Amino acid sequence: MTEAPLVSLASLDTLWFQVSGTLCNIACTHCFISCSPQNHSHEMMTLADVEERLDEARAIGVREYYFTGGEPFMNRDMIAILEKTLRQGPATVLTNGMLLPPAVCRKLKELFDASDYSLDIRISIDGFDRASHDAIRGPGVWDRVMTGIANLVAAGLNPVITVTTAAEGVETSEGRMRFLELMRTFGIDKPRLKVLSLFRIGAEEKRSRAYADWERLSSDMLETGDAGSLQCASGRMVTSRGVYVCPILIEEEGARMGDRLADAQRPFPLRYGACHTCWVDGVTCTT
């Protein structure tokens, strides 16, 4: 076994917050961190937790902020956190779309209009219909997501829809066209679509399979491309437990880099199966 290649943090451009920890109102069968209503592995973050890292990020000159979970809108401080963040940079929230009543959507639109910086909402969908979506996300979820999307659109926001490759055929141009058409039926007139790879860790490991031993990166493999395009070369993830190398590996103790952003500047060894997926699929979790 050769040693794992190291990737340097060229520039901290993207800062992620695991803002609702691993707590989620649903338990998707493909979740790479097995989020659920009972998973307290990483706890909910407070406004003060986020502010502390935002101060540090401002001094470093971070470009953009992403909020994920779990389900970010389970965090009671979410609106206040966004308000604070948008004063210093653009923000994106990754949500399952179930906790978006009209009042929340109207508030998000107010934040969108009031800020010089972009606010983006990203909603995850799996499959082309209720049956395939709910098979992964649980019964009744599709209908609630459709309501959430309708509320966002009614408030004047245009969410990005993300779909994982669990939706068969979505990577082909025909599949994409089909999905874009579907989005128009939701009332979205400027459909924005992002396709995400699956990571064979967490719940997904049980749904499909674990990474095989050969699914690891070597230095030779990295010579054929630009390691600077890997998200660990330009981003870090903050959770209630500290700073991690990326949004994917927060259940790996070896991916925890310290308590503060200043502790998390050193190069990272790409020793995990998920690193293989990022490199081979060219994954970026940003929009």
Partner 1 sequence: MRFAFIGGIYSNYWALRATLDDISRRGVDGVWFLGDLGAFGPHPDRIPELLIERGMPGIQGNYEESLSSRAEDCHCGYTDPRDSHYAQISYDYTFANTSDAHKDWMGTLPREIRFQAGGKRFLLVHGSPRRINEFLWRSTSPDPFLERLCVESEADVIVCTHTGLHWHRPLPGGRHVVNAGVIGRPANDGRTNVWFAVVEVNGGAVTAEFVPVEYDHRRLAGEMQKERLPGEFIETVLTGWWTTCLEVLPPKERAAGRF
Our CB check for partner 1 shows the closer of 177 and 210 to be 177
Please report how close the Cβ of residue 276 comes to partner 1 at its closest, in angstroms.
Answer: 21
Among 24, 78, 100, 119, binds partner 1 (CB under 8 A): 119
Among 46, 88, 132, 165, binds partner 1 (CB under 8 A): 88
90 binds partner 1 (CB under 8 A): yes
Our CB check for partner 1 shows the closer of 27 and 153 to be 153
Q: What are phi and psi of 127, to 5 degrees?
A: 85, 175
75 contacts 20 by C-beta, under 8 angstroms:
yes
In angstroms, rounded to a whole number, what is the distance separating the alpha carbons of residues 5 and 163? Answer: 30
Residues recorded for the chain: 287
Among 178, 192, 207, 241, binds partner 1 (CB under 8 A): 192
64 binds partner 1 (CB under 8 A): yes
84 binds partner 1 (CB under 8 A): no
Among 132, 158, 165, 265, binds partner 1 (CB under 8 A): 158
Q: How many whole angstroms from its chain centre is CA 179?
A: 20
Kindly report each contact of residues 203-208 with a partner whose C-beta sits within 8 Å and lies 24 or more positions away, as own/partner. 203/27, 203/28, 203/29, 203/30, 203/31, 203/32, 203/34, 204/29, 204/30, 204/31, 204/32, 206/29, 207/29, 207/30, 208/30
Q: How many whole angstroms from its chain centre is CA 189?
A: 24
208 binds partner 1 (CB under 8 A): no
Our CB check for partner 1 shows the closer of 11 and 41 to be 11
142: which residues sit within 8 A by CB, 6+ positions away? Answer: 129, 130, 133, 134
Please report how close the Cβ of residue 172 comes to partner 1 at its closest, in angstroms.
Answer: 10
H or E segment at 217?
none
Our CB check for partner 1 shows the closer of 192 and 207 to be 192
Instruction: Identify which of 84, 177, 95, 91 has the alpha carbon closest to the alpha carbon of residue 141.
Output: 95
Our CB check for partner 1 shows the closer of 89 and 247 to be 89
What's the token pair of residue 283? Answer: 């994954």
Our CB check for partner 1 shows the closer of 82 and 255 to be 82
Give the binding range for partner 1 (CB under 8 A) out of 58-66, 74-82, 98-106, 209-217. 58-66
Our CB check for partner 1 shows the closer of 132 and 286 to be 286
Among 112, 128, 179, 279, binds partner 1 (CB under 8 A): 112
165 binds partner 1 (CB under 8 A): no
In angstroms, rounded to a whole number, what is the distance separating the alpha carbons of residues 133 and 128? Answer: 7
In angstroms, rounded to a whole number, what is the distance separating the alpha carbons of residues 228 and 233? Answer: 5
59 binds partner 1 (CB under 8 A): yes
The DSSP symbol for 39 reads: -
Among 107, 176, 178, 241, binds partner 1 (CB under 8 A): 176
Give the binding range for partner 1 (CB under 8 A) out of 26-34, 43-51, 187-195, 250-258. 187-195
Q: Which residues make up the interface to partner 1 (CB under 8 A)?
A: 11, 13, 57-64, 88-90, 112, 116-120, 158, 173, 176, 190, 192-193, 284
